[in-house]
Amino acid sequence: MLSALATAGLLLGALIGLPGTAQAAGSLPCDIYGGAGTPCVAAHSTVRAVFSAYNGPLYQVTRASDGATADIGLLAQGGYANAAQQDAFCSNSTCRINRIYDQTARHNDLYPGPAGTSGMGADRGADASELAVTAGGHKAYGIWISPGVGYRSHGAASGTAVNGQPEGVYMVASGTHVGADCCFDYGNAESTPADTGNGHMDAVSIATTCYFAPCTGSGPWIEADLENGMFQGDNGSNTANTGNSSPFVTAVLKNNGQTTYALKGGNAQSGGLTTWWNGALPTRGGYRPMQQEGGIILGIGGDNSNWNMGTFFEGVMVSGYPTDAAENAVQANIVSVGYSGQTNVPNGPQGTITGPGGTCVDVGANDTGTNGTGVQLWDCQSYAEDQHWTHNANGSLSTIGRCLDIVGNGTAAGAQVELWDCNGVGGQQWVQRSDGSLFNPQSGRCLDTPGGNTANGTRLQIWDCNGSAAQKFALA
């Protein structure tokens, strides 16, 4: 009898998918959707497999020091990411996620997106170690989206909805690392990075964007980006949507492509889904029927608007209009993963550099940092990727994929500092000294705040080392 009870207990544990255990066959999100007649046509995650049978790579990283790449896979079939593989490969350097593999057989992989009609430049890949969490009892990395980071399929994807076909999408994201700018989306978008009109997108979003007032509270809200509008319900506004602000959020959108759509949200750590809208598509022109183009985006808008921020852990797109029962079962599986960790601040190997007046060393241009962007002082912001620096083994200081550099590799007092591709020159070498200064050996000078100014936007320079408060910079 005891033996039979023990066996039953093991079977029950497998069926509900306790964190740290192998999932039962057929129990993962794409197994559930497929069994309900709405198969996954795209499935992306840096955290885990979403098919029980999947045993391929989750994502690919590129190492900054030498441009080498590595595919990051799973600890076991149908299991969790092998974060130790990434840590070993990226040790003593930084890595960016340059490819997110599609776990379906359709190969709808995502890559940093090209420039679009939004006027923003091409996207860069996310820093691979920006945010570590725990899932299934294992360390894993989320995709930390900052302005300028984003991903897109190469043109129209395979099997995704077009021209008013039904579809569903969910993502697990952060409810604490959010913003109001456009756009932190996952789902169906234009096949090229251009706004081609109402109804040409069908993507789920979590943001503090109140596009159609009035909205209830300050969000973040789960919304549908249907192009030229972030819809909470009906024709846009929906005061019944009170938002989802938990560290991990399940965001769900489904759309029959003709008359009806639904939005749901839930805490990805516990409980079920709340339906925020289940009703008519907007009567504004272009949304009945929908006119999807079948591209896939992550972290951006359809025209490559990439000003917003967010964090992505997993998500899928399905063909057909999912049942409530399937969505509830998927939510139960997500909860069983046991997601945990802080999601509102970067927690990778980077640290802040605190300067005079308690300000932070910051890159101009809101995290987008191209070559030649000025390095300055700014109020410290815990979520700002460009205020988190890595002190590399070769003495350089890097953030958002580039290094703290002296303009023109100069050595004269007053030479300004900037962000530039890491290349190992003398103007990128910095030594933290016991008096708190950051010393550049090539010039024999120290990082300096002109005149001791601490105002936001103060451009930093090098100057003769003098031990003053203007040259005190603490690496945390």
Residue type present at position 363? V
Residues in the chain: 476
Residue 167 is a catalytic residue: no
- Under CATH, what is the fold of the domain 353-475? Trefoil (Acidic Fibroblast Growth Factor, subunit A) (2.80.10)
pLDDT at 21: 43
**Equal CATH topology for 19-336 and 353-475:** no
Q: Which of 190, 223, 303, 418 is catalytic?
A: 303
Residue type present at position 138? H
pLDDT in tens, the chain (476 residues): 333 333 333 333 333 334 444 454 569 999 999 999 999 999 999 999 999 999 999 999 999 888 999 999 999 999 999 999 999 999 878 899 999 999 999 999 999 999 999 998 899 999 999 999 999 999 999 999 999 999 999 999 999 999 999 999 999 999 999 999 999 999 999 999 999 999 999 999 999 999 999 999 999 999 999 999 999 999 999 999 999 999 999 999 999 999 999 999 999 999 999 999 999 999 999 999 999 999 999 999 999 999 999 999 999 999 999 999 999 999 999 999 999 999 998 887 778 999 999 999 999 976 667 899 999 999 998 888 889 898 888 899 988 878 999 999 999 999 999 999 999 999 999 999 999 999 999 999 999 999 999 999 999 999 999 999 999 999 87
Could you state, in order of their start, the residue ranges of all structural domains in the chain?
19-336, 353-475
Q: Which of 227, 327, 386, 448 is catalytic?
A: 227
User: What are the backbone dihedrals phi and psi of residue 426, each rounded to the nearest 5 degrees, phi first?
Assistant: -60, -30
Residue 303 is a catalytic residue: yes
Residues in a beta bridge with 112: 151
Beta-carbon contacts of residue 232 (< 8 Å; ≥ 6 apart) = 212, 215, 221, 223, 224, 238, 241, 263, 276, 277
CA 229 distance to own-chain centroid: 21
pLDDT at 391: 85
pTM: 0.85
- Under CATH, what is the fold of the domain 19-336? Jelly Rolls (2.60.120)
3-state DSSP of 306-350: CCCCEEEEEEEEEECCCCHHHHHHHHHHHHHCCCECCCCCCCCCC
Q: Is the Cβ–Cβ distance between 246 and 175 less than 8 Å?
A: yes
